[in-house]
Amino acid sequence: MGRDISPIGNHKLNTESVKELAKDIVSRIDINIEYGYFGQKEHFKLLGKEKNDELVIINKIIKHENFKTFRLIDESFQLKELHNKFGNELFYNPNYWIYYDGKLPDESTILEEQKGLIHPNFSLDYNDENDHQYLTINKEHYGNGIPYYSRWWSFCRFFTEKSYKDKEYLNDLNNFRKSLMHYTHKLGGDKIYYLDDQSNVLEGVGQGSEWEMNWNDFEKFVLEKTSHLMLDIPKFMEDKKYRSEFHKLDEYPLSFVDNFKDINE
C-alpha cells in the first residue's frame, strides 16, 4: 500500500459546536457548508427517536450559489446528545454498546469513548465524480487533503535527488505549498508539518492518532520522533549550507516543517 503525505497545520477556528465551526469556516474561505452528523438506529432509540441509521443534516450555510458545497460532520454529535441526556451512566448502559452483544466493554474502552466528549473531531468533505477534497479539524490543528502533490516517497526524492533544481518541479511543489499556505493562513494558522501517513516511528500520528493532542503536544511529539531527520523546507530553499548538510546525511526525511516564509502569499 502506497504512503501519502499528511499535511497538518495549526488553526484558530471555533470548535465549540458544529454550527459555530461551520459559521467560522464560511467566514474565512469561499465555500458553502451543510453540517450535521451520522446517527445510529440504536442510539436514536435511546434518545426516544424512531430513526434508522442515517445522515442528519442540521442546516446549510450558502455563501454564494456558485461556490462548492462541503459537508461538515461532527463525529461525536450523537455521543454528546446521549451524554446530555444520561450523563456518565450512558457508558454503563449495555444498550449504548451496540457492537458488544449486550455486554459492557472493559474500562479502558469506556475511557477511550469518553474522549469524544473532550476532544473536538470534525470532518469537512467535498465529493463529486472526479474530485474529493477534505479537511479533518481538531481543537488546535487540522489535516489538509484539498491540494495534492505526490506520494510520500516522491515528495522525499524531490529534495534528496535534487529535483528542486528543475524549474517545472519546483513550480509544482510551490503551487502545492501556496495552496496549503492559503488555507492555513485563512484558518488562523502559520505552519504545516508534512508527515508520512504510514510512518514507522510516529505511532499513527499523521493517520488520525493526533486527534486528542493540542498543538504544543503535537509539535513536541513530532520533534521527539523525527527531529534528527526533519527537513525545514524554507531553510532548505534559502540556505545552501543547510541544504548541503542535509544531503550529507544521505537519508530520506522522516518529516518536513514549513512556515512558508520563502514564498509570497
Q: How confident is the model at residue 75, as a pLDDT?
A: 98
User: Both 18 and 84 in a single domain?
Assistant: yes
User: Both 172 and 239 in a single domain?
Assistant: yes
Using the 3D structure, point to which of 103, 128, 153 is the last residue of a domain. Answer: 128
Note whether residue 235 is domain-resident: yes
User: Both 43 and 145 in a single domain?
Assistant: no
Total domain count, the chain: 2
User: Both 156 and 223 in a single domain?
Assistant: yes
User: Both 250 and 166 in a single domain?
Assistant: yes
Note whether residue 159 is domain-resident: yes
Position 130 pLDDT exceeds 90? no
Q: Kindly state the cell numbers that stand for 2.
A: 502506497
Position 41 pLDDT exceeds 70? yes
Distance, in Å, from the CA atom of 256 to the CA atom of 51, rounded to the nearest integer, reads 46
pLDDT digits (tens, 9 = 90+) for 85-124: 999 999 999 999 999 998 999 999 999 999 999 999 999 9
pLDDT digits (tens, 9 = 90+) for 136-173: 999 999 999 999 999 999 999 999 998 989 999 999 99
Q: How confident is the model at residue 264, as a pLDDT?
A: 78
Confidence of residue 79 (pLDDT cuts 50, 70, 90): very high
User: Both 142 and 221 in a single domain?
Assistant: yes
User: Both 190 and 153 in a single domain?
Assistant: yes
Confidence of residue 84 (pLDDT cuts 50, 70, 90): very high
Note whether residue 198 is domain-resident: yes
pTM score of the predicted model = 0.95
Using the 3D structure, point to which of 88, 108, 128 is the last residue of a domain. Answer: 128
Distances (CA, A) of 61 to 72, 96, 146: 11, 32, 20
Helices (H) and strands (E) in the chain, counts: 9, 10
Confidence of residue 8 (pLDDT cuts 50, 70, 90): very high
Residue closest to 2 by CA, chosen among 197, 149, 230: 197
User: Both 68 and 91 in a single domain?
Assistant: yes
Distance, in Å, from the CA atom of 53 to the CA atom of 56, rounded to the nearest integer, reads 9
Q: What's the domain range around 81?
A: 14-128
